[in-house]
Chain A
Amino acid sequence: MTKLLQWLLGVSLLVAVWALVTWDLLDLSLPDTYRDVAWPMPLYLLVSFGCYSLATVGYRVATFNDCEDAALELQQQIKEAKDDLKRKGLKM
Chain B
Amino acid sequence: MASRKTSHRIRENGDKYSVLLPTYNERENLPLIVWLLVKYFGESGHNYEVIIIDDGSPDGTLEVAEQLQRIYGQDRILLRPRAKKLGLGTAYIHGVKHATGNFIFIMDADLSHHPKFIPEFIQKQKEGNYDLVSGTRYRGNGGVYGWDLRRKLISRGANFLTQVLLRPNASDLTGSFRLYKKEVLENLVERCVSKGYVFQMEMIVRARQLNYSVGEVPISFVDRVYGESKLGGNEILSFVKGLLVLFATT
| Contact for B35 among A3, A56, A61, A84, CB less than 8 A | A84
In the assembled complex, the CB of A68 is this many whole angstroms from the nearest CB of chain B, namely 7
30 of the cross-chain contacts (CB-CB < 8 Å) are A2-B248, A3-B166, A7-B165, A53-B160, A53-B164, A57-B153, A57-B156, A60-B138, A61-B152, A61-B153, A64-B152, A65-B142, A65-B144, A65-B220, A66-B143, A67-B220, A70-B145, A70-B220, A70-B222, A74-B111, A74-B222, A78-B32, A78-B225, A81-B31, A81-B35, A85-B31, A85-B71, A88-B71, A90-B31, A92-B28
Q: Mark A19-30, 1 if CB is under 8 A from B, else 0.
A: 000000000000
How distant is the Cα of A17 from the Cα of B157 in the complex, in angstroms? 31
Q: A residues bordering B, Cβ < 8 Å?
A: 2-4, 7, 53, 56-57, 60-61, 64-68, 70-71, 74, 77-78, 81-82, 84-85, 88-92
Provide the main secondary structure of the chain A interface: helix
User: How big is the B interface, by class?
Assistant: 35 or more
Q: Is the CB of A65 within 8 A of B141?
A: yes
| Contact for B165 among A3, A66, A91, CB less than 8 A | A3
Point out the residues of chain A lying under 8 angstroms from B28, CB to CB.
Answer: 92
How distant is the Cα of A78 from the Cα of B222 in the complex, in angstroms? 13
Q: Is the CB of A66 within 8 A of B71?
A: no
Q: Is the CB of A90 within 8 A of B143?
A: no
